[in-house]
Chains A and B, each alone.
Chain A
Amino acid sequence: MELEKVLERFPKEQTYLIEILLDYQKSKPTQHLTENELKEVANYLDVPESHVFSVVSFYSFFSMEPRGKYIIQYCRDVPCHISDLINVKETLETLLDIKTGETTEDQLFTLEYSSCLGQCDGAPAIRINDKIYRNLTKNKLQMVLAEYRGDHHA
């Protein structure tokens, strides 16, 4: 969808900033926002561009890098971090062969960290797009990833 079309649906009020950005980001296959788009939103709402960037850089659900179809977020707050089941970060980075913040070559997965996912009792946990996976082991992770890969091929 074009950004203009999204903007048209909202009044020119600063309170809609986050909603506009979210709506538009979701509509893009790359799930990310660019500098030019931020500028356009800033002009539309008549707010400083620095403010729009401030908001985008604050929330982990916004990205200024193109992202894969599935966004995997792991939590690095204490319970997940010290969980003795596995080290999620390292395991995921090895399985996907990318570093945190990067996207796999097939544009399927992006790996990110996030603040607490609210799953401390099921640590370690991850979120893939809107779905949560808990009590992860290496095996379980491999299965989950395979599922998504299969899903994609189907």
Chain B
Amino acid sequence: MPKIKINNLEVRADEGTTILQAAKEHNFKIPTLCYYPDLDIKSDCRVCVVESVGQEKLVTACSTPIYEGMEIKINSPRAQNARKAIIEMILANHDANCTACVRNTNCELQNLSDHLGIVHNRFETIYEKKPNDTSSPSLIRNHSRCIKCGRCIDACKTIQDISVLEFSGRSHEVEVGPAYHKDLADVFCTYCGQCSTVCPVGAIMEKSDVEKVWQAIDDSSKHVVVQVAPAIRVSLGEELGMQLGSIVTGKVVAALKMLGFTKVFDTNFTADLTIIEEGHELIHRLKNGGKTPLITSCCPGWVRYAEHKFPDLLENLSSCKSPQQMFGALAKTYYAQRESIDPKDIYVVSIMPCTAKKYEAIRPEMSVNGEDPDVDAVLTTRELAKMIKQIGVDFDNLREQKFDKPDEVTSGAAAIFGATGGVMEAALRTVKEVVEEKPLEKLDFDTVRGYEGIREAEVEIKGETLKVAVAHTLANAKKLAQDIRDGKSPYAFIEVMACPGGCVGGGGQPYGTTREKQRDRIHSIYQVDRLMKIRKSHDNAAVSNLYSSYLGDPSGELAHKLLHTKYTKRS
């Protein structure tokens, strides 16, 4: 292990690590900007420059490896000055109207400026105010705030293998965006939002529904109900200052009540319903020689991707709506009828870890009356955190509350929808037990858990082997889809989530989400599952009751009308 010196402190660091990593090991935080833990090292911005004694030029800590005897000065006046000058130059070309920005108090540029002690800028302001791109239903691009760090480009390229974002132009006319300076809605963007979670400033963010929701809550003629997705309960706490991976299910319910929602429901209920419908679909396809592999369809980023890039595989997609949309459809039919409320007066809000869910909600087929959307507004984890801050709730100290009755019963199988592999495991628990007609010996399907980009497993069901696979990120999904297209796919059932780690790593999750944080959240999600009384979707009595009192048979006529959907070839 090489010995090095950091700011006169002698330390040891692993061979081959960068200055940045070695410094971090020893609790020195070197400022960075273009660097992002999960993405390629670009070493473009030069914010991380430090002095390496004996070397004439300053070196970039994010990309320079250490060597035996290296002496690093992080804070020599020369290094500090260089860093300051870079940040000042960036600020001169940035719409730094901080108080009117979503990232105010949560912005990497603002933090850097503060930490480097920048109190005035030696450079003249040169940025030009450009109009925002508001074309997408999910995201807004603010060109005047973009500091051209390239992180979003990398996320779109390396995580998703989509590459709709790129640099264009040169020198001071460099821009970041789609080809030909087009808007996001005019190119093939999946609205996954991965670009927004890595942006250091307020240059890509969700299209906010916060105002809309406040208005609905204030409108006394509206009956405003809200549903909470499985991944929210393990990520919202962290956005509100709690520990990473904190499980805050009951606090979310309490906070939503304080915000003024009339009823607070759990999307996990319709996640259980999804498993019943999708499980039936799988069994049916296997028995009757239907199209396989069956591929999950709860992720709207993936659905949009498939419609554009694999239109020939749309029959493989499960016809089940996502839990969000099953909830919306039931809220405006079953629930309206049960509570004797005119469906027109019901306003459905969902809390999602996802930006693509905003797009899913406005898909024309997601409307039971053919006019109004079943889900009226979608808030990301980040937007909900903002609303909670707006009313000044002391979130950490809230007394836990339960979801509203009678549909508060949910299973552990539904809870794990938020993690990659979760939908697969939930489906296997039900399909195996239902087909074999005897209780499962083991509930946990460990082989489909984990973080590998593509995982495969073989499951014995009634003497037959079922081959299944799980993929997260669209780059990985593409590989499995290509195999199906080439007739080489050995699987019967595939789960796809567009975001890394599954919904826990969704594009609407807290800014700065990394693999490490996704893992913490996944860990908490399995914890939620373990603590549930019911762990299999088909054991959920509230779901069975819904079938017997309203829907009829799983996959039956009404179930089909309300809970299933169609896809459109888009290329």
Contact = CB atoms under 8 A, between A and B. Distances in A.
Contacts of B171: 115
B37 to A, nearest CB: 24
Contacts of A57: 168-170
Nearest to A56: B168
B482 to A, nearest CB: 13
A54 B167 contact: yes
Contacts of A38: 179
Interface string B153-174: 0000100000111111111000
The CB with the most chain A CB atoms within 10 A, among B165, B179, B180, is that of B179
Interface in B128-164: 157, 163-164
A51 B166 contact: yes
Nearest to B163: A48
Interface in A33-52: 35, 38, 48-52
A53 interface: yes
Interface in B223-272: none
B166 A48 contact: yes
A52 B168 contact: no
B280 to A, nearest CB: 40
Contacts of A58: 167-170
Interface in A10-39: 35, 38
B178 interface: yes
Nearest to A51: B166
Contacts of A49: 179
The CB with the most chain B CB atoms within 10 A, among A50, A52, A53, A54, is that of A50
A153 B337 CA distance: 83
A54 B164 CA distance: 11
A64 B168 CA distance: 13
A20 to B, nearest CB: 17
A54 B165 CA distance: 10
A3 B164 CA distance: 24
A59 B169 CA distance: 8
Interface in A43-89: 48-54, 57-59, 64
A50 B169 contact: no
B297 to A, nearest CB: 26
Nearest to A57: B168
B341 to A, nearest CB: 48
Contact of B179 (A53, A59, A115): A53
Contacts of B165: 50
Contacts of B170: 57-59, 115
A54 B168 contact: yes
B542 to A, nearest CB: 47
Contacts of A51: 163, 166
A50 B182 CA distance: 10
A53 B163 contact: no
Contacts of B178: 50
A50 B177 CA distance: 9
Nearest to B161: A48
Contact of B163 (A50, A64, A115): A50
Contacts of B167: 54, 58
A137 B94 CA distance: 39
A59 B171 CA distance: 11
Contacts of A64: 180
A54 B166 contact: yes
Contacts of B163: 48, 50-51
Contacts of B180: 35, 53, 64
A100 B326 CA distance: 57
Contacts of A48: 157, 163-164, 166
The CB with the most chain B CB atoms within 10 A, among A35, A53, A64, is that of A53
A64 B256 CA distance: 52
A51 B187 CA distance: 14
Interface string A113-144: 00100000000000000000000000000000
A52 B168 CA distance: 10
A123 B67 CA distance: 48
Nearest to B153: A50
A107 B127 CA distance: 35
A51 B166 CA distance: 6
Nearest to A54: B166
Contacts of B168: 53-54, 57-58
Contacts of B169: 57-58
Interface in B10-65: none
Nearest to A39: B179
A60 to B, nearest CB: 8
Interface of B: 157, 163-171, 178-180, 187
**Which 8 pairs, one residue from A and one from B, show the smallest C-beta to C-beta distance?**
A48-B163, A50-B166, A53-B179, A57-B168, A50-B179, A54-B166, A58-B170, A49-B179
9 contacts: A48-B166, A50-B187, A53-B180, A54-B166, A57-B168, A57-B170, A58-B168, A59-B170, A115-B170
Given A50-B179, A53-B179, A57-B168, 4 more contacts: A49-B179, A51-B163, A52-B179, A58-B169
